[in-house]
Chains A and B, each alone.
Chain A
Amino acid sequence: MREMIVHELTQATQELVREFARFLPRLMVMLIVVLVGWVIAYLVKAVLRSFLRLIKFDKLSEGAGATQLLNKAALPSSTELVSRFAFWTAWLGFILVGVSALGILGMQEYVTRFFVFLPRLLVSLIFLFIGLLAASFFSRAALLWAVNTDMPSPRLLSSAARVLITVFTASAVFEELGLADSTMLFAFAIVLGAVMLGLAIAFGLGGQELAKRFLEARFSPEKKEGKEREDELSPL
């Protein structure tokens, strides 16, 4: 019986050593891949950063209002952010490839899912960026329009526009990422509905005079004759 235990022990140990021996090269491969990946990711970051500097990406994002957001969040500039993100994404990718080389079951699935997730992440980020740009642009356009047509509370209108577009963008991004999509959708619908209802009530009740003036100016400019109104001055 002692011989059997020793024999089994020896065999088990030999088994372990063999397994370990088989595992070692894979580990080596993984480490090499990780190292190479780090180098490549670094290159990607450098190239991307130069490219973004060239197309003045910072200025663009300034227009989008993203810089202000980032500053508030104590994040580095947009160029820097994007470059670093690219670096980490690339390196993570390589790490996962290396890990998959280890041949550990179950990891394959996670790796695959990561790579499937990546493009959607990219799309969402682009969408977010565009959305923020649009929000900034349209809120400013609304502000200018309201000021120039003598509307009351132009800032309110401007913020409302910004909020609306931002919320819409956010919900679209969440949907794209597949995070609580239906919830966000409902939330957005509810917010939008509420805002619209509120505006309608406000407009109908409180904005009668304004509406009348607005419609008059838009659709029947001739009605101004014959009233005790001022003379129209033509700017040109």
Chain B
Amino acid sequence: MAEESILTDEFLRQLIDVGEADVLVGVPTYNNAATVGQVVQTIRAGLLKYFPRERAVIVNADGGSRDETSNLVRGASINDLQHSTDLNALRTLHSISAEYAGGPATGTALRTILASAELLRVSACAVVSPESTTIEPEWIERLLRPVYQGNADFVTPLYRRHKFDGLLMSNLVYPMTRAFYGKRVREPYASEFSFSGPLAGHFLTQEIWVNEVGHTGTEIALTISAITGGFRMVQSFLGVKPRLDARSADLIDAMRQTVGALFWSLEPNFSLWSSKGDSQPVPTLGGEQEVTLEPLRVNRKRLLAMFRSGVAELEPVLKSILSAPTLAELQRIAALSEEEDFCYGDELWARTIYEFAASYHKAVISRDHIVQALAPLYRGRAFTFLVENRDASGEQVEQNIENFCLTCERLKPSLLELWNGKK
């Protein structure tokens, strides 16, 4: 089975030493020595505070870090060799770190964590990003408790974040995941989430691992897999969303991991999403997503400029992806000289995305190029969103996003037409 090949001998030996656990917190890393120490210490504090009697283990799936990452993780262990009586820990806490095979890839790291969860027979498993410097011990409780108590199978987070933070999420990934799969999961691509042991086993049987998406778009693929599998979804409010590393904020990478994975998922799940009706809300614990409003200086002009240049320069590419009316409309708004008149409206944007999804399905050109071609158009949409919500309050922003979601759901039948029709 492919499962064994990603678990190195060293990893397996460490798992054998752990034996069995009740809760597991997985941390995928690659050269994260700057932040992982603090994150792991917070995880440990959370485990000691909220799960003092349970057998807990922190599993670090590392892609071959050349810095102090592994040592920092191992330093969080509590055992009788390290004389740490000041911690008042009832039992041993394993904090293991081992390299997985095949070079750094989020997908492989997550798969390793899933395999650990299954082999150790845990009841609840959480995944935490090594860069989540805003993490608090309470996050461990909020992520793991619903699963550990047996009330949920899959927990996605809710954050307190700025109204303009995560535009791709709020303007594309969330509405589309919701429209396609019928569940209002606010953060389908999350750096912190948790799931039950049986769900881990289910994930491992999925097809995603042998595909490209199994390497890059794993998080959202897991969310979709949980939704389509009919597992009990719950959202749990955590806290302030961690600021991602500037490198991770690269738009194209982000789009590959989310939009690419989302589009890819449409094919195998066709029968499921094509028949889905309206979306259902997902139970929420600890509060709704919160929006902060501190002023940000954002270079909006650049977004609009890149949209315009994108529409112009990519015309030959867009021609093979979009329908003629949509492309014409885009060119029209790109040509508007006055910035104030520019508006990449909800309906146009929804149609754009759906046409892209259909083209992705038909693979009119290389699929990766299709995803890349969407980037400048997204920038135009981001510009509109920034302008429209410049002075908006938190509720208004969420309401606008909700309206867009409803538009997407309403226009979903058009995708079905495109899907089955000829180019």
Q: Do A's and B's CB atoms come within 8 Å in the complex?
A: yes
A residues lining the B interface (CB < 8 Å): 63, 137, 140-141, 143-148, 150, 154-155, 221-222, 224, 230-236
Q: A232 and B249 in contact (CB under 8 A), knowing A140-B365, A147-B310, A154-B309?
A: yes
Choose among B173, B365, B375 the residue that contacts A148 (Cβ–Cβ < 8 A): B375
**Residues of chain B from 243 to 267 with CB closer than 8 A to chain A in the complex:** 243-244, 246-249, 251-252, 254-255, 258
A234 B313 Cβ-Cβ under 8 A: no
Which of chain B's residues have a CB closer than 8 A to the CB of A230? 297-299
Choose among A146, A150, A154, A236 the residue that contacts B244 (Cβ–Cβ < 8 A): A236
Which of chain B's residues have a CB closer than 8 A to the CB of A144? 314, 317, 369, 372-373, 375
Known: A231-B298, A233-B165. 14 other contacts (CB 8 A): A144-B314, A144-B373, A147-B309, A148-B251, A148-B306, A148-B310, A150-B305, A154-B313, A224-B246, A230-B298, A232-B249, A235-B166, A235-B169, A236-B168
Which of chain A's residues have a CB closer than 8 A to the CB of B313? 143, 146-147, 154-155
By beta carbon, the residue of chain A nearest B362 is A59
State the majority secondary structure of interface residues on A: helix
Which of chain A's residues have a CB closer than 8 A to the CB of B165? 233-234
B residues lining the A interface (CB < 8 Å): 164-169, 173, 189, 243-244, 246-249, 251-252, 254-255, 258, 296-299, 302, 305-306, 309-310, 313-314, 317, 365-366, 369, 372-373, 375-376, 382
Choose among A143, A146, A232 the residue that contacts B246 (Cβ–Cβ < 8 A): A232
Which of chain B's residues have a CB closer than 8 A to the CB of A221? 246-247
A156 CA / B152 CA spacing, docked (Å):
54
A154 CA / B366 CA spacing, docked (Å):
19
Q: A236 and B309 in contact (CB under 8 A), knowing A63-B365, A140-B365, A230-B298?
A: no
Choose among A137, A146, A222, A235 the residue that contacts B254 (Cβ–Cβ < 8 A): A235
A-B contact pairs, 8 of them (CB 8 A): A140-B317, A147-B375, A148-B375, A231-B297, A235-B166, A235-B168, A236-B173, A236-B249
Which of chain B's residues have a CB closer than 8 A to the CB of A231? 296-298
By beta carbon, the residue of chain B nearest A137 is B366
By beta carbon, the residue of chain A nearest B306 is A150
Which of chain B's residues have a CB closer than 8 A to the CB of A145? 372
A224 CA / B297 CA spacing, docked (Å):
14
Choose among A146, A222, A235 the residue that contacts B167 (Cβ–Cβ < 8 A): A235
State the majority secondary structure of interface residues on B: helix
A236 B189 Cβ-Cβ under 8 A: yes
B169 A236 Cβ-Cβ under 8 A: yes
| Nearest Cβ on chain B to A69's Cβ, whole angstroms | 15
| Nearest Cβ on chain B to A52's Cβ, whole angstroms | 18
By beta carbon, the residue of chain B nearest A144 is B372
| Nearest Cβ on chain A to B309's Cβ, whole angstroms | 6
Which of chain A's residues have a CB closer than 8 A to the CB of B258? 236
| Nearest Cβ on chain B to A111's Cβ, whole angstroms | 44
B166 A236 Cβ-Cβ under 8 A: yes
A233 B164 Cβ-Cβ under 8 A: yes
| Nearest Cβ on chain B to A89's Cβ, whole angstroms | 32
| Nearest Cβ on chain A to B362's Cβ, whole angstroms | 9
A51 CA / B70 CA spacing, docked (Å):
55
Which of chain A's residues have a CB closer than 8 A to the CB of B249? 232-236
Which of chain B's residues have a CB closer than 8 A to the CB of A147? 306, 309-310, 313-314, 375-376
A145 CA / B372 CA spacing, docked (Å):
8
A148 CA / B78 CA spacing, docked (Å):
48
Which of chain B's residues have a CB closer than 8 A to the CB of A140? 317, 365-366, 369
| Nearest Cβ on chain A to B386's Cβ, whole angstroms | 9
| Nearest Cβ on chain A to B174's Cβ, whole angstroms | 11
Which of chain B's residues have a CB closer than 8 A to the CB of A224? 246
By beta carbon, the residue of chain A nearest B243 is A234
Which of chain B's residues have a CB closer than 8 A to the CB of A143? 313-314, 317
A235 CA / B374 CA spacing, docked (Å):
14
Which of chain A's residues have a CB closer than 8 A to the CB of B309? 147, 150, 154
Residue from B167, B244, B309 having most chain A Cβ neighbours under 10 A: B309
B298 A233 Cβ-Cβ under 8 A: yes
| Nearest Cβ on chain B to A160's Cβ, whole angstroms | 14
| Nearest Cβ on chain B to A74's Cβ, whole angstroms | 22
B244 A234 Cβ-Cβ under 8 A: yes
A150 B302 Cβ-Cβ under 8 A: yes
A154 CA / B313 CA spacing, docked (Å):
7
Which of chain B's residues have a CB closer than 8 A to the CB of A232? 246, 249
A141 CA / B249 CA spacing, docked (Å):
21
Which of chain A's residues have a CB closer than 8 A to the CB of B168? 235-236
By beta carbon, the residue of chain B nearest A145 is B372
| Nearest Cβ on chain B to A41's Cβ, whole angstroms | 34
By beta carbon, the residue of chain B nearest A230 is B299
A147 CA / B168 CA spacing, docked (Å):
18
A155 CA / B310 CA spacing, docked (Å):
11
By beta carbon, the residue of chain A nearest B317 is A140
Q: A234 and B314 in contact (CB under 8 A), knowing A140-B369, A148-B252?
A: no
Q: A234 and B372 in contact (CB under 8 A), knowing A147-B314, A221-B247?
A: no
Which of chain A's residues have a CB closer than 8 A to the CB of B243? 234
Which of chain A's residues have a CB closer than 8 A to the CB of B366? 63, 137, 140
By beta carbon, the residue of chain B nearest A222 is B246
| Nearest Cβ on chain A to B368's Cβ, whole angstroms | 8
